[in-house]
Structure 1
Amino acid sequence: MAYFGKEFVLDRQENFTEFIESLKMEIPPEIKKAVINSKSLAKIDKNGDEYTLSSVKVDGSTSSRTFKSGVEYEETNFGRTGKAVITVDGDTFTQVQKYPEGTLTTTRKFSPNELVVTITFSGWDGEAKRYYKAK
């Protein structure tokens, strides 16, 4: 696929502040502000039947996770560990993360020039979107 190996930079977002505020996790205010205001990068690579999703964290460091479609793994966010699974269907990567506070679903729709990320949370009635452009 034409988007593998490309870096995508955040261009704009909708309802993301509301999403972060809806999380029932204790996140320090300065971290919330940094997450909301960050100009994050995202990248997806594929090696055989494994995928590696990389992103630049708030502090500028890079994090990545390697996964197989449909295989559950443990993931830690904001000090909370939960179970996660990413399912690949063509250009769409759907990640479901289960934490004690609720279920977070992130859908990443890749195209050669854009990445659209849609986020929902079981404890919130809204939907956040983040739009990335290929570098």
Structure 2
Amino acid sequence: MAFLGKTYKFVGQENFDTFLKVVGVPDEKIPDILKFAPDFKLTKDGDTYTYATVRSSGPAEVKFQSGVEFDDVIGEDKTPVKSTYTVDGNTVTQVIKSDKGSASFKREFNGDDLVLTITVEKWDGQAKRFYKAA
């Protein structure tokens, strides 16, 4: 798990705008969200992982244990969801479930590269965001 403790910086994306439309983000908010590119770091202490993001509105952290579902919130509107992160080798997958459906955020670490693949149950496509270790 060489990716633990490294800071990753956003470098690009594919189909993220389409993903945002599919999940119902209003058209006028999409340009600002497309610019959202926080740095992040994943660390581990015992059985607990911390996923920390650094963004313009300040830092945010999510603590989790692999495979254990917990109450979470997503988005600017703080939509309540159930999240489960699973750590498997160099892949960290987050599955979220809400009354609106489910989505998967699969983070695949390969050396200094990270690819985040996003899928949702009501879309047969996928969005990708790309990061590099700083």
1:1-135 matches, within 5 Å, as 1-24=1-24, 29-30=28-29, 32-57=30-55, 59-78=56-75, 79-135=78-134
Give percent identity, aligned residues only: 36
What whole-Å deviation, never above 9, does each CA across 1:2-56 have from its counterpart, x for those lacking one? 21111111111110111011103x65833x3222112321210011111111123
Instruction: Determine the C-alpha separation between the residues in 2 that align with 1:65 and 1:125.
Output: 28
Asked whether the equivalents of residues 73 and 84 of structure 1 are also in contact (C-alpha less than 8 Å), the reply is yes
TM-score normalized with structure 2 length? 0.90
TM-score normalized with structure 1 length? 0.89
Secondary structure in 2 matching 1:56: strand
Secondary structure in 1 matching 2:114: strand
Secondary structure in 1 matching 2:129: strand
Runs of 4+ in 1 over 6 A off after TM superposition: none
**2:41 alignment partner AA:** K
Backbone CA RMSD of aligned residues = 1.6
Asked whether the equivalents of residues 75 and 81 of structure 1 are also in contact (C-alpha less than 8 Å), the reply is yes
Q: Any gaps of 5 or more consecutive residues in structure 1? A: none
Secondary structure in 2 matching 1:125: coil
Q: Any gaps of 5 or more consecutive residues in structure 2? A: none
Asked whether the equivalents of residues 16 and 128 of structure 1 are also in contact (C-alpha less than 8 Å), the reply is yes
Instruction: Determine the C-alpha separation between the residues in 2 that align with 1:21 and 1:119.
Output: 13
Secondary structure in 1 matching 2:42: strand
Asked whether the equivalents of residues 2 and 111 of structure 1 are also in contact (C-alpha less than 8 Å), the reply is no
